Amino acid sequence: MRTAHRVEKVRAAEAELMARLPDGALMARAAAGLAAACADLLGRVYGARVVLLVGSGDNGGDTLWAGARLARRGAAVHAVLLAPDRAHAAGLAAFQAAGGRVADDPFAVLSGADLVLDGITGIGGTGGLRPAAVPVARAARGSGAVVVAVDLPSGVEADSGEVRGEALRADATVTFGTDKPGLLIDPAREHAGTVRLVDIGLGPHLPSVPDVESLQHPDVAVLLPEPSGESDKYRRGVVGVAAGSARYPGAAVLTVAGALRGGAGAVRYVGPEGAAVVARFPEALVHAGPPVKAGRVQAWVVGPGLGDDEDTVGQVLASDVPVLVDADGLRLLDPDAVRARTAPTLLTPHAGEAAALLGRDRAEVEAGRLDAVRELSARYGATVLLKGSTTLIAAPDPRLPVRADPMGTPWLATAGSGDVLSGLAGSLLAAGLPPLDAASCAAYLHGLAARRAAAVSTPITSYEVADALGAAWRDIRTPD
Ligand SMILES: NC(=O)C1=CN([C@@H]2O[C@H](COP(=O)(O)OP(=O)(O)OC[C@H]3O[C@@H](n4cnc5c(N)ncnc54)[C@H](O)[C@@H]3O)[C@@H](O)[C@H]2O)[C@@H](O)CC1
Ligand SMILES: Nc1ncnc2c1ncn2[C@@H]1O[C@H](COP(=O)(O)OP(=O)(O)O)[C@@H](O)[C@H]1O
Ligand SMILES: [K+]
């Protein structure tokens, strides 16, 4: 599991730890880890041309101390001081004592650099890069050097992943003590590149429950349901799928395709497109009547391609089993009926649907996904999976961490892939996973399946994503 903590918690943990250590010890640990990571990236330190972008805070301090270490190992290191009067004094003295030089012309040194360290701002940064830093950050990006962000790419919001202006784009980020939420959530995540965590001893001082977390293969492996000797199709769970309409018959097929690969023992399709479903999937059970007459299921998926069938949404929401609501279902749902449910509800909007549910602009939701997913989940008393470039999942209990899916790929931005996801997540609900786990495992498997399909050929179709789900399960169970 990757875990991320908000800035206030990082600072509290740092204060506790610093009180037990000699002055400067923590920064020395950070700088040692940073210099080691840079040496790995460079391969050979001796003779390498390194440029430090140094801001006015401790982030610049870490960078100067690391620059001193690299200079002592024979690198030619120049520091670009963005606020010369406020550069970290001890760091600058150590840097110069080690043979590092302050650059007169930032653009001249950047044009010949092998490695650039971005120490403009870390967790103390607010707003995008200040205007003076913008051309320097752009020149770093355009220089052909490997760009390494120190703690965070400068200009991103550490706590939310928002980018409110211009931010530096790094190839890699070396972060200290713990991940920050912005390293797991777009658009900031995209600016960070590959993230490496340096242990500075903060762990025991951080709250045990993080603010944001990302599942990794072993976490998903533990959560996925496995049939046992005692299993039969009913004990494995039956998932009901109320999706598709004469106008959108494909949604019925794709949702069932996802549901069949989600671990439930049987999929019961309910709606007008049973013939199309059975033609593709003879293993599906079909029922043409309303959901209340369909027989017992352990979870429902309602909404993909449903058109305007409000009755179906109402009937499913009135049931006493977990319900996933997607697509048209989100438009047709009665918020009071959702809030009144005693069994869990999982809503799976994309940014446009989330914006409609919240009464906000789509762009606002996309820029501030963490805030949007938390607010939706609180308003509806439901688990919410907000789809997009970073899919986020929030449980209604605000004490639980928000899960940020690390597996998505932009190839998933293709019609119908959301239908596959909702079938898959509904199937995991029917198999007995709690909504937060069902949703986050589904997003992870969906992304992994899309990556596998994209490795064979691109562009991928939603049906190919569904087809690759079995291979994704196998990958997770048998890591190499
Ligand atoms: N506190 C500690 O013990 C440790 C801190 N560490 C480092 O210290 C950093 C935090 O240091 P600080 O709290 O000094 O904060 P930062 O160095 O992240 O940034 C604060 C400084 O940047 C300026 N600033 C804020 N927003 C800006 C913007 N958009 N553009 C340009 N300048 C801006 C502020 O005026 C302030 O001077 C961490 O990210 C990490 O790199 C590490 O050394 C580990 C230990
Ligand atoms: N830029 C992107 N990067 C990664 N995943 C994306 C991106 N855009 C969309 N997706 C994913 O693609 C799927 C699309 O679902 P959705 O918007 O419901 O489409 P549809 O209704 O056509 O099925 C979701 O799983 C979403 O997270
Ligand atoms: K930085």
CA of 9 to the centre of ligand 3 (A): 19
Residues 236 and 197 in one domain: no
Residues 164 and 285 in one domain: no
Q: Is the pLDDT of residue 232 over 80?
A: no
Contact 465, 257 (CB under 8 A): no
Contact 376, 347 (CB under 8 A): yes
As a whole number of angstroms, the distance between CA 241 and CA 286 comes to: 9
Binding residues for AMP: 387-391, 418
Q: Per-residue pLDDT tens for 167-207?
A: 999 999 999 999 999 999 999 999 999 999 999 999 999 99
* Ligand 2 pocket test target in 403, 407, 411, 417 with most atoms within 8 Å of CB: 417
Residues 195 and 343 in one domain: no
Find the CATH number of the domain harbouring 355. 3.40.1190.20
Residues 124 and 245 in one domain: no
Residues 182 and 234 in one domain: no
Confidence of residue 4 (pLDDT cuts 50, 70, 90): very high
Give pLDDT, residue 479: 63
**Ligand sitting nearest the alpha carbon of 414:** 2
Residues 309 and 201 in one domain: no
Residues 228 and 84 in one domain: no
Q: Residue whose CA is closest, atom 16 of ligand 2?
A: 418
Give pLDDT, residue 226: 85
The last residue of one of the domains, among 165, 183, 212, is 212
Q: What is the ipTM of this complex?
A: 0.93
Please tell me the least confidently modeled range out of 53-57, 176-180, 235-239, 426-430: 235-239
Give pLDDT, residue 324: 98
CA of 20 to the centre of ligand 3 (A): 26
CA of 173 to the centre of ligand 1 (A): 15
CA of 306 to the centre of ligand 1 (A): 50
As a whole number of angstroms, the distance between CA 447 and CA 390 comes to: 11
Give pLDDT, residue 229: 75
CA of 57 to the centre of ligand 1 (A): 4
**Ligand sitting nearest the alpha carbon of 8:** 1
Find the CATH number of the domain harbouring 169. 3.40.50.10260
**Domain count along the chain:** 2
Q: Is the pLDDT of residue 236 over 90?
A: no
Please tell me the least confidently modeled range out of 168-182, 217-231, 417-431: 217-231
Q: Per-residue pLDDT tens for 17-74?
A: 999 999 999 999 999 999 999 999 999 999 999 999 999 999 999 999 999 999 999 9
Binding residues: 58-62, 118, 122-128, 151, 154, 251, 305, 350, 387-391, 418-419
Q: Which ligand 2 atom is nearest residue 254's CA?
A: 23
Q: Of 423, 467, 389, 445, give the one whose Cα is nearest residue 184.
A: 389
The last residue of one of the domains, among 151, 185, 212, is 212
Give pLDDT, residue 241: 98
The last residue of one of the domains, among 165, 185, 212, is 212
Q: Residue whose CA is closest, atom 13 of ligand 2?
A: 418
Q: Per-residue pLDDT tens for 268-277?
A: 999 999 999 9
Q: Per-residue pLDDT tens for 146-167?
A: 999 999 999 999 999 999 999 9
Contact 429, 322 (CB under 8 A): yes
CA of 385 to the centre of ligand 2 (A): 12
Residue 62, by phi and psi: left (phi above 0), alpha (psi -120 to 50) or beta? Answer: alpha
Confidence of residue 138 (pLDDT cuts 50, 70, 90): very high
Q: Which ligand 2 atom is nearest residue 417's CA?
A: 23
Confidence of residue 140 (pLDDT cuts 50, 70, 90): very high
Q: Per-residue pLDDT tens for 437-475?
A: 999 999 999 999 999 999 999 999 999 999 999 999 999
Q: Which ligand 2 atom is nearest residue 412's CA?
A: 12
**Ligand sitting nearest the alpha carbon of 154:** 3
Domain of residue 334 covers 217-477
Q: Per-residue pLDDT tens for 253-264?
A: 999 999 999 989
Q: Is the pLDDT of residue 329 over 90?
A: yes
Q: Residue whose CA is closest, atom 8 of ligand 2?
A: 413
As a whole number of angstroms, the distance between CA 420 and CA 337 comes to: 25
Tally Cβ neighbours within 10 Å of residue 223: 18
**How far out from the chain centre does Cα 276 lie?**
35
Contact 225, 428 (CB under 8 A): yes
3-state secondary structure the chain: CEEECCHHHHHHHHHHHHCCCCCCHHHHHHHHHHHHHHHHHHCCCCCCEEEEEECCCHHHHHHHHHHHHHHHCCCEEEEEECCHHHCCHHHHHHHHHCCCEECCCHHHHHHCCCEEEEECCCCCCCCCCCCCHHHHHHHHHHCCCEEEEECCCCCCCCCCCCCCCCCCCCCEEEEECCECHHHCCCCHHHHHCEEEEECCCCHHHCCCCCCEEECCHHHHHHHCCCCCCCCCCCCCCEEEEECCCCCCHHHHHHHHHHHHCCCCCEEEEECCCHHHHHHHCCCCEEECCCHHHCCCCCEEEECCCCCCCHHHHHHHHCCCCCEEECCHHHHHCCHHHHHCCCCCEEECCCHHHHHHHHCCCHHHHHHCHHHHHHHHHHHHCCEEEECCCCCEEECCCCCCCEEECCCCCHHHCCCCHHHHHHHHHHHHHHCCCCHHHHHHHHHHHHHHHHHHHHHHCCCCCHHHHHHCHHHHHHHHHCCC
The percent of residues above 90 in pLDDT, for the chain, comes to: 95
Confidence of residue 283 (pLDDT cuts 50, 70, 90): very high
Pocket of ligand 1 (CB under 6 A): 14, 18, 26-27, 30, 55-60, 62, 120-127, 129-130, 133, 150-151, 176, 200
Residues 168 and 231 in one domain: no
* Ligand 2 pocket test target in 324, 348, 412, 461 with most atoms within 8 Å of CB: 412
Confidence of residue 350 (pLDDT cuts 50, 70, 90): very high
Give pLDDT, residue 161: 96
Binding residues for (6S)-NADPHX: 58-62, 122-128, 151, 251, 305, 350, 419
Residues 139 and 265 in one domain: no
CA of 141 to the centre of ligand 2 (A): 29
* Ligand 2 pocket test target in 389, 403, 440, 469 with most atoms within 8 Å of CB: 389
Residues 169 and 266 in one domain: no
Cα-only R_g, the chain = 25
Q: Which ligand 1 atom is nearest residue 128's CA?
A: 29
Confidence of residue 374 (pLDDT cuts 50, 70, 90): very high
Q: Round the average pLDDT of the chain to a whole number and report it.
A: 96
Q: Per-residue pLDDT tens for 61-112?
A: 999 999 999 999 999 999 999 999 999 999 999 999 999 999 999 999 999 9
Give pLDDT, residue 238: 96
Confidence of residue 480 (pLDDT cuts 50, 70, 90): low
Residues 194 and 271 in one domain: no
CA of 21 to the centre of ligand 3 (A): 24
C-alpha angle with apex 12: 16 to 183, nearest 5 degrees? 125
Q: Is the pLDDT of residue 233 over 90?
A: no
CA of 294 to the centre of ligand 3 (A): 57
> Can you tell me the mean pLDDT for 274-282?
97
The percent of residues above 70 in pLDDT, for the chain, comes to: 100
* Ligand 1 pocket test target in 14, 123, 129, 162 with most atoms within 8 Å of CB: 123
Contact 168, 141 (CB under 8 A): yes
Residues 271 and 397 in one domain: yes
